[in-house]
A = this chain, B = another copy of it.
Amino acid sequence: MNVSFDDLHKAFESRVRLGIMSALAVNDSLDFSALKEFLDVTDGNLATHIKKLEKEGFIEVEKSFIDNKPNTKYSMTPDGKKAFDDYLNVMEEIIKAQKNS
């Protein structure tokens, strides 16, 4: 098998972080409650995983006010997009290798 598991970025070793990236890959930006609803996780859990992805530089935060209420939107950075694409490509290789076996 010719798959490099080392290329699977550790940032995605979490289904919540995979879910966040998947959601942000298909939406220009999402706010906290949209992500929370999509992933069905607690506030604390989501916040932890968002922070990790932010720290990696894979997502970015935009804070603003809507009707005088704070609104926080998350979007994927170009680095995040590249890392996520790379991750999915390696996973695709793993899947192919299993199917050919």
Contact = CB atoms under 8 A, between A and B. Distances in A.
Interface string A39-53: 110000000000000
Contacts of A23: 1
A101 B25 contact: yes
Interface residues of A, number: 26
Given A1-B22, A5-B39, A26-B1, A98 B94 contact: no
Name A's interface SS. helix
Identical copies in the complex: 2
A13 B8 CA distance: 11
Contacts of A22: 1, 3, 5, 94, 97-98
A56 to B, nearest CB: 15
9 contacts: A5-B19, A6-B15, A10-B15, A13-B13, A22-B94, A22-B98, A25-B101, A88-B98, A91-B95
